[in-house]
Amino acid sequence: MTRVVVLLRGVNVGPSTRLAMADLRAVLADAGAQDVRTYLQSGNAVVTAPVSGLADGVRRGLRQVAGRDVAVLVRTAAQVGRVIGANPFPDKESEPKRLHVAFVDPAPTAAAVEALGLRHGKDELAPGPGAVYLSFSGTSHDSPLQPVLRRVDGVVTARNWSTVTRLHAMATEG
């Protein structure tokens, strides 16, 4: 059993993607997770569970509850800690809405991220451990990085810096 962060892609971002966090907690418990805590209303949870098979179990449960496929990414507390420690944009940490981490599965290579172009207007991206860092000059919604991010192979789900650091804190607090 390991303390892990569970990230759902595309939950509660529109009327057709609604998911109550009580339903998510129940699905996580049914998938074998213990000490389940959700964070915000956007598909973030911290649980104690076996890492192997957790994402598939949660995905099956969400298909039953939500009636649709929901992509699920699982990261250990140590993996999230490495993402935080490798932040290539430390000057943006004081502006957490302008610094996001896109978790990607399977993890992209640095060359694959660099092939997308690291600078788009005033916004930048950088490869990281199982993630892509996004530095925005303005808001993320109108950034030229949005279409670029859609070209990343695999399942991609992004969180702002505040959410990433809070999830890590939840996963490591004793």
CATH code for position 115: 3.30.70
Give the domain range for residue 66.
2-78
Query: Rounded mean pLDDT of the chain?
Result: 94
* Final residue belonging to a domain, choices 26, 45, 78: 78
Asked if the model's pLDDT at residue 41 lies above 90, the reply is no
**pTM strictly above 0.85:** yes
- Specify whether 145 is located in the same domain as 100: yes
pLDDT band at 18 (very low <50, low <70, confident <90, very high): confident
Distance from C-alpha of 54 to C-alpha of 76, rounded to nearest angstrom: 12
Averaged over 50-79, what is the pLDDT?
Answer: 94
pLDDT one-digit tens code per residue, 82-125: 999 999 999 999 999 999 999 999 999 999 999 999 999 999 99
Asked if the model's pLDDT at residue 14 lies above 80, the reply is no
pLDDT of residue 174: 62
- CA 100 vs. chain centroid, Å, equals 9
* DSSP helix/strand/coil, 39: strand
- Tell me the percentage of the chain whose pLDDT exceeds 90: 85
Averaged over 43-57, what is the pLDDT?
Answer: 95
pLDDT one-digit tens code per residue, 120-134: 999 999 999 999 999
pLDDT of residue 28: 96
* Final residue belonging to a domain, choices 78, 108, 139: 78
Question: Given the DSSP bridges, would you call strands 2-8 and 44-49 parallel, antiparallel or unpaired?
Answer: antiparallel
- Specify whether 63 is located in the same domain as 102: no
Helix or strand (DSSP H, E) at 24: helix 21-30
Tell me whether residue 167 is in a domain. Answer: no
Distance from C-alpha of 171 to C-alpha of 122, rounded to nearest angstrom: 33
- Specify whether 109 is located in the same domain as 124: yes
- Specify whether 89 is located in the same domain as 153: yes
- Specify whether 115 is located in the same domain as 150: yes
Tell me whether residue 165 is in a domain. Answer: no
* Structure-token match 């030229």, residue found: 144
Q: Evaluate whether 42 touches 100 at the Cβ level (below 8 Å).
A: no
Burial of 110 (0-12, 13-18, 19+ CB in 10 A): exposed
Q: Please give the order of strands across the beta sheet that includes 119-120.
A: 119-120, 123-128, 131-135, 99-105, 155-160
Q: How far apart, in Å, do the first and last CA atoms of the chain sit?
A: 15
